[in-house]
Amino acid sequence: DAEITQSPRHKITETGRQVTLACHQTWNHNNMFWYRQDLGHGLRLIHYSYGVQDTNKGEVSDGYSVSRSNTEDLPLTLESAASSQTSVYFCASSESLQGPGGPQHFGDGTRLSIL
């Protein structure tokens, strides 16, 4: 069965360190998304990609970067981790559709703690 996998599931790191969270999907979806989830804020979009070599900033992109070198992977990098980036991070993917958007499939999330 097709799946979307995030790793690691849990990570603890220190402020100032570079951190990369992995996201791998086998749906063969062109669209991939990264969200952070914080209490009271729901899911907020960090970055997204509509295909290989395409990346776009979401509403909370400061301090984060992504790259898309193939269809399956969209790694999220925190350049210099800050305590404010402690959160649960979700990756999602969806099929490209003409017209209205389509359903997004989510990974299991990565719980990131920055001390």
Partner 1 sequence: GENVEQHPSTLSVQEGDSAVIKCTYSDSASNYFPWYKQELGKRPQLIIDIRSNVGEKKDQRIAVTLNKTAKHFSLHITETQPEDSAVYFCAASSTGTASKLTFGTGTRLQVTL
Q: Which residues contact partner 1 (rule: CB under 8 A)? A: 31, 33, 35, 40-45, 48, 50, 59, 90, 94, 96-109
Computed on alpha carbons and rounded to an integer, the radius of gyration of the chain in Å comes to 13
Contact 75, 87 (CB under 8 A): no
Smallest distance from partner 1 to CB 111, Å: 9
Residue number with CB closer to partner 1 (32 or 81): 32
CA pair distance 51, 82, nearest whole angstrom: 29
Q: Which residues of 9-47 are buried (b: 16+ CB within 10 A; e: fewer)?
A: eebebeeeeebebebbbebebbbbbbbbeeeeeeeebbb
- How far apart are CB 75 and partner 1 at their closest, in Å? 19
The nearer residue to partner 1, 35 or 114, going by C-beta atoms, is 35
Residue whose CB is less far from partner 1, 2 or 97: 97
CB atoms within 10 A of CB 59: 8
- Name which of 85 and 90 has its Cβ closer to partner 1: 90
* Minimum CB distance to partner 1, residue 80 (Å): 27
